[in-house]
Amino acid sequence: MKREEFQLAVQLGFVRTVPGAMPGTAEGAADPTRRRVARSEIERLTKAPDFPEGLRERVRSVGTSEGAQLLSISKERFARLARTGHFSPVRFYVNRYRAVVWLYPAAELGEFALTHPGLLTGRLPLDVRIRADGGEDWRPRNWRARRLGMLLRASGDPWVRTAAIASLLDPVQLAEVVDDPFERAYLDRFRPAPPSWRPTTPAAREIADRLLLADDPDEILWHRMSLALALDEARADRQAPWPGAPPPGGHPLAPPGSILAALGVPMPATAPLGLPATAPATLPSPAPAVRPQTALPGGDAAGPVPGPAPTGPASSGPASSGPASSGPASSGPAPAGLAGGPMSPGEASLGPASPGPASLGTASAGPARPPGGIRPPGRRTRRSLLDRLRGRKEVRSRPGG
């Protein structure tokens, strides 16, 4: 089979797949985003009496002209039935005129001819004519629904299923339903890849990308509600990771100093990166900054305005009894206190002293998710589905909303 035929067979459910192994794992952990065909499924398909012609015929797709010939109707009638949602396309492509060409499964068209013979002859029903004349086009919506069904059947992981629903909404709609940025980032990890047959040219790809997102208001509302319900199920299964959370193994990473202290190895105190362990003996004092004289409104010239007091080297003598300077702290080299040693009274403290070996004996517990309903710092409080719907109703009820 060709690659396109095999992909259609998987999408239509004729070939069953299972989660593939995650690359780089010796244990063979399942990766919900990768699918493969089991050997037993290949044996089942090859043992069929009509293999491979029968499978090729079941996945054969036709356009409007060939589909109209298959149903023995005109192309206009076929297009009206397709726009009103009587059969769903399985694929599309953008031709050189930037027009979307829809493809339909030939097997489903044959079943439609057997189950709805009244729609193939005579005058179309009134409701079908009204919908067709009103400009309805259900082909993009039906194709998205078919693709979503395939994605939901392909995985049982709640977060993967939620990401499949979220892929049908634009970023603005998604942010209104999933107000937690960490959850949106987690859903983006499981976002399904676009179809491999998507156009490559920029103009055609832009048209295809628009067809991937829901555009009808009823369809958007349906997917928003589905996403909110699926998100509640995913949260009940497990929480989305956030920065500082322990790895999936369950044990938080301990600081390096706590490991050395547990082994009884003293850890020498070091200065912060980029700062020397000890301050030099003498530092040159910068010249005081003097602003130029400016004329006052009365005509008198203002005297020179002295700049901030120079910060010289740390002195070991008695401290000055003058008022404390309100200028910025000196950014000179680190004093000896940062290296773990005692600080002299004249030295200016640039930060807390580094802990010595004695303070490394207690291993600090790694970051863990706050218990209960406490949210990590920076995360917004989740709203229930009812609160979100109420907020949406209030926005619509505002004047000019």
pLDDT for res 4:
81
Give per-residue pLDDT as tens, 122-147. Answer: 999 999 999 999 999 999 999 999 99
Quick one: average pLDDT of 41-54? 88
Q: Is the pLDDT of residue 318 over 50?
A: no
159 lies in a domain? yes
- In terms of domains, do 34 and 49 share one? yes
How far is residue 361's CA from residue 257's CA, in Å, rounded to a whole number? 8
Do residues 121 and 149 share a domain? no
Mean pLDDT of the chain: 74
Asked if residue 342 belongs to a domain, the reply is no
What is the number of structural domains in the chain?
A: 3
Q: What is the pLDDT of residue 376?
A: 55
Dihedral pair phi/psi, residue 306, rounded to 5°:
-70, 145
Residue 91: helix, strand or coil by DSSP? Answer: strand
* Shared-domain flag, residues 197 and 233: yes
The verdict on residue 323 lying in a domain is: no
Q: How many CA atoms lie within 13 A of 66 on its CB side?
A: 11
CA distances from 131 to 63, 82, 84, 112 (A): 22, 11, 7, 20
Confidence class of residue 71 from pLDDT cuts 50, 70 and 90? very high
> 32 and 105 in one domain?
no
234 falls within a domain:
yes
Q: Is the pLDDT of residue 117 over 80?
A: yes
pTM: 0.60
Same domain, 198 and 174: yes
Q: Is residue 355 part of a domain?
A: no
Confidence of residue 168 (pLDDT cuts 50, 70, 90): very high
CATH number for position 123 = 1.10.10
The residue among 120, 137, 154 that closes a domain is 137
Judgement on whether residues 194 and 221 belong to the same structural domain of the protein: yes
| Shared-domain flag, residues 16 and 65 | no
Question: pLDDT, tens digit, for every residue of 337-354?
Answer: 444 444 444 444 444 444
Question: Residue 228: which domain range?
Answer: 140-240+385-397
| CB burial of residue 357 (10 Å; 0-12, 13-18, 19+) | middle
Cβ atoms < 10 Å from Cβ of 397 = 8
Asked whether residue 278 is domain-assigned, the answer is no
Kindly state whether residues 84 and 108 are assigned to the same domain: yes
Q: Which amino acid is at 45?
A: L
Is residue 369 a part of any domain in this protein? no
